[in-house]
Structure 1
Amino acid sequence: MSDEVSPSDGNEDIEPLRNDVAVAHAGASESRAEVASPRVKRRALGPTFWGNSVMVLAAAVLSAGAALWGSYIGASGSREAALEQQHVAALDQQNSELRAKRSEVYLLYLNRANEYSRKNFALLDAIKKSHGAIDVNPGAPGPIKDWLDARGAYQDAVNLIYVYGSKAAWDAHRVMASTLPPSLGTLKFEDVDSGKFTKAYQAFQVVFCQELNPRDNNGCQ
């Protein structure tokens, strides 16, 4: 009987060992794959995480921008309201000053118109009493000079009505002027219809009252 080991006998012993190694290697590979899988999943979650972060940041920026825009609109509205109040106050001041000026001008006009009417009556009365022998020298003291002075003063008041008066005041003046001798141009001594003059005088007073009491002029009659 021989002690030599045949090659076939050795291979038979090695083959099971080789199979065991192959199985062990395959198991290790699967284990590594299982361990690597979560890592792959974490890498896959990376873009989603950054996307969510960008969305949150964008929302924060938009919120801050909206707050700033709201503040700007609020400040702009407040500024416009303040400017509007200043504009209204300025208009009120101008209207108040105009009413004060018109009050002065209208009162002066009424006084000058009344004085012109009186001096005209005095002049006509003097002419009548003197039977036409009255001194017509404008520089000589007497009814002629007084009439001329009153005529010039009345025309000065008319000029102020033209500058500061309203259309209603100017129209009322024209009615009153039609009852008086002309205050410009050729000198004319004319009788004044006292009834028409008084009516025109009162009509101008109504305009005076209405314009100086714009909020309550029911008593202007």
Structure 2
Amino acid sequence: MSTSPTSTAAASPGPPWLQSALTIAIVAAVAGILGAWITANATKSGADASLAGSRYGAESAQKTTQLQLAADQAKETRNQRAQVYAKYLTIVSKYYTGARLMREYAGTKRGVPGCENGETPICKQSLETMVQTEIAFLDSRVAYQAQIDQLTVYGSEEAMKAHQVLAAMLPPTLGPAPSQIELGTLSLPGATDPKKFAAAYGAFQKVFCREAAAQPRSSC
């Protein structure tokens, strides 16, 4: 059975030039689609990388800010305590000295040395000295209580413990001021034993050293 020329022409893919054109068009179309896909994925990857980088940068900046705030707060606390502790030591020393002098007066007849035999010149001079001593004592008493208030706000637990040891050796700062006679009858270990007061004072100094210095000595 023979094939007709018409059937043969319909089955033919066409002239070579047409086949080449179709092939080129198909390749170009596939390449375009593939290129677009690659570009889209590259853009998405770049965006994801940029987003991740931005997130990491934000987290790092936040951590840096938090660390800086903590460092600033620690520095402010050290500076505040340095002022409070230094003033506390100065005032407690004055109060201790005033209490000792007042106690010494309380141990003499009539509370004034040199007045055993009446109103002599020495007695009058002693009276003036005693008045000045008492004024200084009362002033230091008020100042000491004011500094205790500051210590209560800004001091650490260790500082408060060291203060309580010192305060137990001194006359009370609240209520009516004790008279000379009352000072003579009060149990004040610091006034009767300077070594005990010095040891308690030194303990507070060590707390001061540890908490006020950015790099405290090992001996603190």
Aligned 8 A contact 2:209 2:216 in 1: no
**Number of residue pairs the alignment of both structures matches:** 192
* Corresponding residue for residue 150 of structure 1: 140
For residue 106 of structure 1, what is the aligned residue in structure 2? 85
| Mapped contact 1:112–1:154 kept (Cα < 8 A) | yes
Q: Give the match for residue 78 of structure 1.
A: 57
C-alpha distance in 1 between matches for 2:212 and 2:59: 31
With over 3 angstroms needed to count, the CA separation of the structure-2 counterparts of 1:141 and 1:72, relative to structure 1, is: same
1:130-209 matched pairs, under 5 angstroms:
130-132=109-111, 141-188=131-178, 189=183, 190=186, 191=188, 192=191, 193-209=193-209
Work out the CA distance in 2 between the residues paired with 1:130 and 1:147: 20
Identity of matched residues, %: 26
Larger Rg, first or second structure (1 or 2): 1
Q: Which amino acid aligns with 1:78?
A: G
Work out which of the residue numbers 9, 12, 15 in structure 2 matches 1:31: 9
List gaps (5 residues or longer) in structure 2. 114-129
1:126 matched residue in structure 2: 105
Structure 2 vs 1, CA of residues 180 and 73 (structure 1 numbering), >3 Å: closer, same or farther? same
Q: Secondary structure at the match of 2:177?
A: coil
Provide the TM-score with structure 1 as the length reference. Answer: 0.73
In 2, the alpha carbon distance for the partners of 1:216 and 1:174 equals 23
Query: Does the alignment pair 1:57 with 2:36?
Result: yes
SS at match of 1:131: helix
- The alpha-carbon deviation at position 202 of structure 1 amounts to 0.4
Match of 1:92 among 60, 71, 74: 71
Q: What is the TM-score with the length of structure 2 in the denominator?
A: 0.73
C-alpha deviation, 1:112, in angstroms? 0.7
Query: Hey, what does 1:15 align to over in structure 2?
Result: none
**Which has the higher relative contact order, 1 or 2, with Cα contacts under 8 A spaced 6 or more apart?**
2
